[in-house]
Amino acid sequence: MPAPDAIAALDRVLARYRRDVNTLAPGAPADALTSLEGHLGVALPAGYRRFLLHTNGASLFRGTLRLRAASDVAPASAAHPSVVLFADGPAPGQLGAPLTPATQTWAFAPDGIGGHVFGKWDGANLAASHTSFDGWFVGELAVTDGRQLRPEDADRLRFDADPDDPFQRVAQAARLRATQPAEAVNLLRAATRQAPHLVAAWIALGDALAPTDRGAARQAWLVALRAIRLPVPWPGAGLLDAEAVRSLALIFPNPDELEREMERFLTERVTDVLDDREAELVEAVGRVRARSLLNRGRRRAARDAIADLLARLRGTRWGKVPWDVVIELAEVEVDLGAHDEAEMLLRRLRRDGPADRKALGQLVLARVAVNRQEPWAEEILAEALAGLTGEDRVRALVLAAERAVRVDRPDVAASHLDAARREANQVAHRPTLARIALGDAEVARARGDKERARALLKQALATLGDV
């Protein structure tokens, strides 16, 4: 199919309608566009520059779609200077109405590898839908001229107008996944071949493959991770979620390779973190690395990895404290017997942290109190239990049982473990069930039933072996 041509498409529209339907300004002088590029600090996309030389702004379909004159083209905001606003149209559901203060805005931004992306700007994110101005313009003309109010019809017209664009292929694949999964995968494979740098295409390919081929899905997600650079080139660019990152651990038979992959991402592909999405990805990568080290018994290396992750995140422009990383570092410090270091971390959490994380901090502090056999351990455990749910609450109940065994109260320990077992069956988390079995073994041993204790210990180890 021939590549979209914005000027040819505009000429066709002008030939079909009376002059008062569409109004065009004369083309912009070349030096005005050079001045605009200097003001923006970015080069204009080639197709868009060609369009402005042809017509310096246009009001189409009686103002339903407005292409800004060069003098009105501007950065989206001081926070997003690389996002450039260049056109306006009706808000969703208002197609065919005159422009109002609630209009939708279109923008472009550099893609980080010498090209550009075009799409809708919502004030915080750019929903990229095309890689060229010509593709965007021809698609938007088709939608506006067709007066399509239904989003699904508008999406079909955009795809028909620019079917070879990788963003359009990803969008079309998303629409086909439920009914034509094989065709969706074919579209995504075509998009990744065409634009191997496009993170969104690799993520979508992994998501599409996951129901039938989890291994191939993880390989696609790994390519996506290797293509990501932080900060992302435009706000709203594709990023892996934490669950996909955690699943990558299963790709590497050698944990050294996994740890090196995660470390490479942190050291080579992250220069800064600007928002919560980016921070979530960095945190997930760092914690996968630390978890692998912990699983191999390398606790000090894991502690160093988590401390490095905490320092990395706190040194970025993101400007927030990653409290889950603070809690994990405190957990590892407790494992290493560094109780004072753990308490220092937890004091800050109790003082400044969010309410839903303070209870987790109390659980870690309870571990310290139980290990030290402090007389106030029960009080700390009660505070933790009051604020915890799910697996974290089960962990607290198991710890309460451990405390009861240590103070020679096996019946109280058994009661805590019964409660833990009821709640653990709901979350169905094997490591948690194994901890409960270990607690049962301790209660049996405290009661003098050594044979039952051995059987329960064997059960716990078997459960852990299945993880």
Q: Residue 442 pLDDT more than 90? A: no
Using CA atoms, how far apart are residues 38 and 44, in angstroms rounded to an integer? 10
pLDDT digits 0-9 by tens, 288-326 = 999 999 999 999 999 999 999 999 999 999 999 999 999
Whether 76 maps to a domain, the answer reads yes
**Quick one: average pLDDT of 205-229?**
96
**Quick one: average pLDDT of 221-226?**
97
Whether 204 maps to a domain, the answer reads no
Whether 294 maps to a domain, the answer reads no
CA nearest 329: which of 354, 347, 310? 310
Domain count, the chain: 2
**Quick one: average pLDDT of 200-212?**
96
- Which pLDDT belongs to residue 430? 66
- Tell the residue number behind the tokens 């931004």, with chain if given: 109
CA nearest 344: which of 323, 359, 330? 330
**Quick one: average pLDDT of 74-100?**
77
Using CA atoms, how far apart are residues 314 and 322, in angstroms rounded to an integer? 8
Average pLDDT, the chain: 90
- Which pLDDT belongs to residue 176? 96
Which of 115, 131, 164 is the last residue in one of the domains? 164
Question: Confidence class of residue 355 from pLDDT cuts 50, 70 and 90?
Answer: confident
Which of 164, 184, 202 is the last residue in one of the domains? 164
Q: What are phi and psi of 322, to 5 degrees?
A: -80, 90
Whether 417 maps to a domain, the answer reads yes
Using CA atoms, how far apart are residues 208 and 221, in angstroms rounded to an integer? 11
Q: Residue 281 pLDDT more than 90? A: yes
- Which pLDDT belongs to residue 465? 57
- Which pLDDT belongs to residue 92? 54
Q: Residue 453 pLDDT more than 80? A: no
- Which pLDDT belongs to residue 255? 93
CATH number of the domain bearing residue 121: 3.40.1580.10
Q: Residue 459 pLDDT more than 80? A: no
**Quick one: average pLDDT of 133-142?**
95
**Quick one: average pLDDT of 205-215?**
94
Whether 15 maps to a domain, the answer reads yes
Comparing 92 with 122, the larger pLDDT belongs to 122
Low-confidence winner among 44-53, 87-96, 432-441 (lowest mean pLDDT) = 87-96
- Which pLDDT belongs to residue 148? 59
Whether 43 maps to a domain, the answer reads yes
- Which pLDDT belongs to residue 425? 72
Q: What are phi and psi of 104, to 5 degrees?
A: -80, 145
- Which pLDDT belongs to residue 428? 54
pLDDT digits 0-9 by tens, 400-428 = 999 999 999 999 989 998 898 888 776 55
**Quick one: average pLDDT of 23-35?**
95
Low-confidence winner among 19-23, 119-123, 131-135, 404-408 (lowest mean pLDDT) = 19-23
**Quick one: average pLDDT of 452-459?**
79
- Which pLDDT belongs to residue 102? 41
- Which pLDDT belongs to residue 145? 84
Whether 240 maps to a domain, the answer reads no
Judge whether 144 and 64 are in contact, CB under 8 Å.
yes
**Quick one: average pLDDT of 19-47?**
93
**Quick one: average pLDDT of 175-198?**
96
Q: What percentage of the chain has pLDDT greater than the value 70?
A: 94
**Quick one: average pLDDT of 68-76?**
96
Q: Residue 267 pLDDT more than 60? A: yes
Amino acid at 256: D
Question: Confidence class of residue 467 from pLDDT cuts 50, 70 and 90?
Answer: very low
**Quick one: average pLDDT of 440-462?**
79
Whether 25 maps to a domain, the answer reads yes
Using CA atoms, how far apart are residues 120 and 109, in angstroms rounded to an integer? 11
**Quick one: average pLDDT of 44-73?**
94
Which of 131, 164, 197 is the last residue in one of the domains? 164
Residue 87 sits in which domain range?
Answer: 6-164
Judge whether 410 and 446 are in contact, CB under 8 Å.
yes
Using CA atoms, how far apart are residues 118 and 294, in angstroms rounded to an integer? 44
Judge whether 366 and 384 are in contact, CB under 8 Å.
yes
**Quick one: average pLDDT of 57-79?**
92
Q: Which two tokens stand for residue 155?
A: 């999406």
Q: CA 30 → CA 46, 53, 55, 355, distances in Å? A: 13, 7, 12, 58
